Amino acid sequence: MALLDNAYETVTLEQADDHILRIVLDRPEAANAMNTQMGFDLREIYQSLYMDQEDWRCIILTGRGERAFCAGGDLKERNGMTDETWQRQHALFEQMVMNQMDVPVPIIAAVNGAAYGGGTEMVLAADFAYGSTNAKFALTEVTLGIMPGAAGTQNLPRAVGVRRAKEIILSGKAFGAAEAENWGILNSVHAPEELNDAVLEICRRIAGNAPISIRQAKKSINVATQVDLKNGYMFEIEAYNRMVPTEDRLEGVRAFNEKRKARFTGK
Protein backbone atom coordinates (compact mmCIF):
# COMPACT_ATOMS: atom_id res chain seq x y z
CA MET A 1 0.00 0.00 0.00
CA ALA A 2 1.31 3.45 -0.89
CA LEU A 3 2.17 5.60 2.10
CA LEU A 4 -0.32 8.31 1.10
CA ASP A 5 -3.14 5.75 1.23
CA ASN A 6 -2.73 5.44 5.00
CA ALA A 7 -4.72 7.63 7.39
CA TYR A 8 -3.12 8.68 10.68
CA GLU A 9 -4.80 10.18 13.71
CA THR A 10 -2.21 12.84 14.61
CA VAL A 11 -0.17 13.27 11.42
CA THR A 12 -1.25 14.24 7.91
CA LEU A 13 0.69 13.19 4.82
CA GLU A 14 0.59 15.32 1.69
CA GLN A 15 2.26 15.29 -1.70
CA ALA A 16 3.94 18.70 -1.71
CA ASP A 17 5.25 18.33 -5.27
CA ASP A 18 6.63 15.68 -7.60
CA HIS A 19 8.67 13.25 -5.48
CA ILE A 20 8.27 15.46 -2.35
CA LEU A 21 6.37 14.23 0.70
CA ARG A 22 5.15 16.59 3.41
CA ILE A 23 4.67 15.21 6.93
CA VAL A 24 2.45 17.54 8.97
CA LEU A 25 2.26 17.24 12.76
CA ASP A 26 -1.47 17.77 13.03
CA ARG A 27 -2.63 18.51 16.58
CA PRO A 28 -2.99 22.32 16.36
CA GLU A 29 -5.38 22.41 19.33
CA ALA A 30 -2.47 21.10 21.45
CA ALA A 31 0.30 23.11 19.76
CA ASN A 32 1.15 19.91 17.84
CA ALA A 33 2.47 18.38 21.07
CA MET A 34 3.55 14.77 20.76
CA ASN A 35 1.29 12.33 22.55
CA THR A 36 1.57 8.56 22.53
CA GLN A 37 -0.49 8.24 19.36
CA MET A 38 1.77 10.67 17.50
CA GLY A 39 4.71 8.54 18.57
CA PHE A 40 3.03 5.48 17.04
CA ASP A 41 2.07 7.38 13.88
CA LEU A 42 5.52 8.85 13.25
CA ARG A 43 7.29 5.59 14.05
CA GLU A 44 5.13 3.75 11.51
CA ILE A 45 5.70 6.42 8.84
CA TYR A 46 9.47 6.43 9.30
CA GLN A 47 9.65 2.63 9.39
CA SER A 48 7.67 2.48 6.15
CA LEU A 49 10.04 4.97 4.51
CA TYR A 50 13.05 2.99 5.71
CA MET A 51 11.72 -0.17 4.06
CA ASP A 52 10.33 1.42 0.91
CA GLN A 53 11.04 4.97 -0.23
CA GLU A 54 8.50 4.48 -3.04
CA ASP A 55 9.37 7.41 -5.34
CA TRP A 56 9.90 10.00 -2.60
CA ARG A 57 13.14 11.91 -3.01
CA CYS A 58 12.78 14.57 -0.32
CA ILE A 59 10.61 14.96 2.78
CA ILE A 60 9.35 18.10 4.52
CA LEU A 61 8.55 17.86 8.24
CA THR A 62 6.38 20.68 9.59
CA GLY A 63 3.54 21.51 11.96
CA ARG A 64 -0.04 22.60 11.36
CA GLY A 65 -0.67 26.34 11.63
CA GLU A 66 1.66 29.23 12.41
CA ARG A 67 1.61 28.94 16.20
CA ALA A 68 3.70 25.82 16.73
CA PHE A 69 5.89 23.29 14.99
CA CYS A 70 5.72 21.00 18.01
CA ALA A 71 5.47 21.94 21.68
CA GLY A 72 7.28 18.76 22.74
CA GLY A 73 5.80 15.95 24.77
CA ASP A 74 2.13 16.31 25.71
CA LEU A 75 2.39 17.13 29.42
CA LYS A 76 -1.37 16.91 29.90
CA GLU A 77 -1.25 13.29 28.84
CA ARG A 78 1.82 12.73 30.99
CA ASN A 79 0.32 14.27 34.13
CA GLY A 80 0.05 11.53 36.74
CA MET A 81 1.69 8.84 34.61
CA THR A 82 3.25 5.98 36.55
CA ASP A 83 6.99 5.43 36.15
CA GLU A 84 6.32 2.31 34.09
CA THR A 85 3.89 4.02 31.72
CA TRP A 86 6.25 6.98 31.30
CA GLN A 87 9.17 4.71 30.43
CA ARG A 88 7.08 2.68 27.97
CA GLN A 89 5.97 5.87 26.25
CA HIS A 90 9.52 7.17 26.15
CA ALA A 91 10.75 3.91 24.63
CA LEU A 92 8.26 4.55 21.83
CA PHE A 93 9.62 8.08 21.37
CA GLU A 94 13.17 6.69 21.33
CA GLN A 95 12.23 4.31 18.53
CA MET A 96 10.50 7.13 16.65
CA VAL A 97 13.50 9.46 16.65
CA MET A 98 15.93 6.66 15.74
CA ASN A 99 13.62 5.69 12.87
CA GLN A 100 13.54 9.34 11.76
CA MET A 101 17.33 9.52 11.63
CA ASP A 102 17.46 6.20 9.73
CA VAL A 103 15.19 7.33 6.86
CA PRO A 104 17.35 7.17 3.70
CA VAL A 105 15.55 10.11 2.05
CA PRO A 106 16.57 13.63 3.19
CA ILE A 107 14.20 15.16 5.76
CA ILE A 108 14.04 18.96 5.83
CA ALA A 109 12.31 20.56 8.82
CA ALA A 110 10.14 23.60 8.09
CA VAL A 111 9.88 25.18 11.53
CA ASN A 112 6.69 27.21 11.33
CA GLY A 113 6.41 28.20 15.01
CA ALA A 114 7.43 27.12 18.49
CA ALA A 115 9.59 24.00 18.70
CA TYR A 116 10.09 23.18 22.36
CA GLY A 117 11.54 20.09 24.03
CA GLY A 118 10.96 17.15 21.73
CA GLY A 119 10.00 19.61 18.99
CA THR A 120 13.51 21.03 18.99
CA GLU A 121 14.87 17.48 19.05
CA MET A 122 12.83 16.53 15.97
CA VAL A 123 14.29 19.57 14.19
CA LEU A 124 17.79 18.49 15.20
CA ALA A 125 17.11 14.93 13.99
CA ALA A 126 16.22 16.26 10.53
CA ASP A 127 18.97 16.60 7.94
CA PHE A 128 18.68 20.38 8.07
CA ALA A 129 16.04 23.00 8.77
CA TYR A 130 14.55 26.26 7.56
CA GLY A 131 12.50 28.38 9.93
CA SER A 132 10.05 31.25 9.95
CA THR A 133 10.82 34.46 11.80
CA ASN A 134 8.33 33.46 14.50
CA ALA A 135 10.06 30.12 15.19
CA LYS A 136 11.16 29.65 18.80
CA PHE A 137 13.24 26.93 20.37
CA ALA A 138 13.96 25.59 23.83
CA LEU A 139 15.09 22.40 25.49
CA THR A 140 13.17 22.88 28.73
CA GLU A 141 13.45 19.37 30.11
CA VAL A 142 15.68 20.26 33.06
CA THR A 143 13.00 22.70 34.26
CA LEU A 144 10.64 19.70 34.51
CA GLY A 145 12.94 17.34 36.38
CA ILE A 146 14.05 15.37 33.32
CA MET A 147 16.54 15.94 30.49
CA PRO A 148 16.48 15.75 26.68
CA GLY A 149 15.81 12.16 25.70
CA ALA A 150 15.20 12.22 21.93
CA ALA A 151 18.89 12.50 20.99
CA GLY A 152 19.03 16.18 21.97
CA THR A 153 22.25 15.82 23.97
CA GLN A 154 23.82 14.13 20.93
CA ASN A 155 22.49 16.13 17.98
CA LEU A 156 22.65 19.61 19.54
CA PRO A 157 26.43 19.58 20.23
CA ARG A 158 26.95 18.40 16.65
CA ALA A 159 24.96 21.39 15.41
CA VAL A 160 26.11 24.19 17.72
CA GLY A 161 29.20 22.93 19.55
CA VAL A 162 29.54 21.52 23.05
CA ARG A 163 29.74 24.81 24.97
CA ARG A 164 26.67 26.34 23.33
CA ALA A 165 24.78 23.06 23.74
CA LYS A 166 25.52 23.08 27.47
CA GLU A 167 24.22 26.63 27.77
CA ILE A 168 20.99 25.77 25.93
CA ILE A 169 20.29 22.48 27.71
CA LEU A 170 21.39 23.38 31.24
CA SER A 171 19.55 26.72 31.30
CA GLY A 172 16.36 25.61 29.55
CA LYS A 173 16.25 29.14 28.12
CA ALA A 174 14.21 29.86 24.97
CA PHE A 175 15.76 31.47 21.90
CA GLY A 176 14.50 32.74 18.58
CA ALA A 177 14.98 32.07 14.89
CA ALA A 178 17.86 34.54 14.43
CA GLU A 179 19.89 32.90 17.19
CA ALA A 180 19.01 29.43 15.87
CA GLU A 181 20.35 30.41 12.45
CA ASN A 182 23.47 32.03 13.87
CA TRP A 183 24.23 28.97 15.99
CA GLY A 184 23.67 26.41 13.21
CA ILE A 185 20.26 24.93 14.06
CA LEU A 186 18.50 26.65 11.16
CA ASN A 187 20.07 26.98 7.73
CA SER A 188 17.95 30.01 6.86
CA VAL A 189 15.09 32.14 8.20
CA HIS A 190 12.10 33.42 6.21
CA ALA A 191 8.93 35.42 6.71
CA PRO A 192 6.08 33.08 7.70
CA GLU A 193 4.32 33.51 4.35
CA GLU A 194 7.56 32.71 2.49
CA LEU A 195 8.71 29.66 4.46
CA ASN A 196 6.79 27.06 2.46
CA ASP A 197 8.08 28.36 -0.89
CA ALA A 198 11.67 28.49 0.39
CA VAL A 199 11.53 24.91 1.64
CA LEU A 200 9.88 23.70 -1.55
CA GLU A 201 12.58 25.37 -3.62
CA ILE A 202 15.43 23.53 -1.90
CA CYS A 203 13.45 20.28 -1.86
CA ARG A 204 12.77 20.54 -5.59
CA ARG A 205 16.49 20.99 -6.17
CA ILE A 206 17.29 17.92 -4.06
CA ALA A 207 14.51 15.89 -5.68
CA GLY A 208 15.86 16.78 -9.13
CA ASN A 209 19.19 15.13 -8.39
CA ALA A 210 19.97 11.42 -8.70
CA PRO A 211 18.05 9.61 -5.92
CA ILE A 212 20.66 6.93 -5.29
CA SER A 213 23.38 9.59 -5.13
CA ILE A 214 21.37 11.57 -2.58
CA ARG A 215 20.77 8.54 -0.36
CA GLN A 216 24.38 7.39 -0.51
CA ALA A 217 25.75 10.89 0.13
CA LYS A 218 23.43 11.34 3.15
CA LYS A 219 24.57 8.01 4.56
CA SER A 220 28.23 8.91 4.12
CA ILE A 221 27.85 12.40 5.64
CA ASN A 222 26.14 10.89 8.68
CA VAL A 223 29.19 8.70 9.28
CA ALA A 224 31.58 11.67 9.18
CA THR A 225 31.22 12.56 12.88
CA GLN A 226 31.18 8.94 14.04
CA VAL A 227 34.55 7.60 12.89
CA ASP A 228 38.08 8.78 12.14
CA LEU A 229 38.91 10.40 8.80
CA LYS A 230 40.50 7.36 7.15
CA ASN A 231 37.65 4.98 7.99
CA GLY A 232 35.11 7.65 7.06
CA TYR A 233 36.77 8.00 3.68
CA MET A 234 36.71 4.22 3.19
CA PHE A 235 32.96 4.33 3.88
CA GLU A 236 32.62 7.17 1.35
CA ILE A 237 34.36 5.13 -1.34
CA GLU A 238 32.10 2.13 -0.68
CA ALA A 239 29.08 4.42 -0.96
CA TYR A 240 30.51 5.97 -4.13
CA ASN A 241 31.06 2.63 -5.84
CA ARG A 242 27.37 1.82 -5.42
CA MET A 243 26.63 4.47 -8.09
CA VAL A 244 29.13 3.48 -10.77
CA PRO A 245 26.93 0.76 -12.34
CA THR A 246 23.68 2.78 -12.18
CA GLU A 247 21.66 4.06 -15.12
CA ASP A 248 21.53 7.46 -13.41
CA ARG A 249 25.33 7.77 -13.58
CA LEU A 250 25.23 7.15 -17.33
CA GLU A 251 22.31 9.55 -17.74
CA GLY A 252 24.02 12.29 -15.74
CA VAL A 253 27.17 12.26 -17.89
CA ARG A 254 25.14 11.91 -21.10
CA ALA A 255 22.90 14.87 -20.16
CA PHE A 256 25.94 17.02 -19.38
CA ASN A 257 27.48 16.32 -22.76
CA GLU A 258 24.15 16.87 -24.56
CA LYS A 259 23.67 20.16 -22.66
CA ARG A 260 20.28 19.22 -21.22
CA LYS A 261 18.74 18.55 -17.82
CA ALA A 262 19.27 14.99 -16.63
CA ARG A 263 16.22 12.76 -16.20
CA PHE A 264 17.01 10.54 -13.22
CA THR A 265 14.97 7.41 -12.53
CA GLY A 266 16.61 6.09 -9.38
CA LYS A 267 18.01 3.04 -11.19
Please report, for the chain, the start and end positions of each structural domain, with discontinuous segments joined by +: 3-207, 211-257
User: Given pLDDT bands bounded at 50, 70 and 90, which one contains residue 66?
Assistant: confident
Question: 32-64: string of b/e by CB count within 10 Å (b at 16+)?
Answer: bbbbbbbbbbbbbbbebbeeebeebbbbbbbbb
Instruction: Choose the catalytic residue: 121, 193, 201, 238.
Output: 121
Asked about 236 being catalytic, the answer comes back as: no
- In whole angstroms, give the CA distance from residue 199 to residue 133: 14
Asked about 121 being catalytic, the answer comes back as: yes
Q: Do residues 25 and 69 make contact, with C-beta atoms less than 8 angstroms apart?
A: yes
Q: What is the pTM of this model?
A: 0.94
Instruction: Choose the catalytic residue: 9, 29, 66, 141.
Output: 141
- Tens-digit pLDDT profile for residues 139-152: 999 999 999 999 99
Does 75 or 155 have the greater pLDDT score? 155
Q: Residue range 179-206: average pLDDT?
A: 98
Nearest to 143 by CA among 121, 174, 119, 165: 174
Choosing among 1.10.12.10, 3.40.50.300, 3.40.50.720, 3.30.565.10, the CATH entry for 211-257 is 1.10.12.10
Q: What is the 3-state secondary structure (H, E, C) of 222-251?
A: HHCCCCCHHHHHHHHHHHHHCCCCCHHHHH
Q: Do residues 38 and 10 make contact, with C-beta atoms less than 8 angstroms apart?
A: yes
Identify the H or E element spanning 132: strand 128-132
Residue 34 is predicted with a pLDDT of: 97
- Tens-digit pLDDT profile for residues 199-229: 999 999 999 999 999 999 999 999 998 999 9
Choosing among 1.10.10.10, 3.40.50.300, 3.40.50.1460, 3.90.226.10, the CATH entry for 3-207 is 3.90.226.10
Alpha helices (H) in the chain, listed in sequence order: 36-51, 75-78, 83-102, 118-125, 152-160, 162-171, 177-183, 192-207, 211-223, 229-241, 247-257
What CA dihedral angle connects 197, 198, 200 and 203, to 10 degrees? 170
> How large a percentage of the chain has pLDDT more than 70?
100
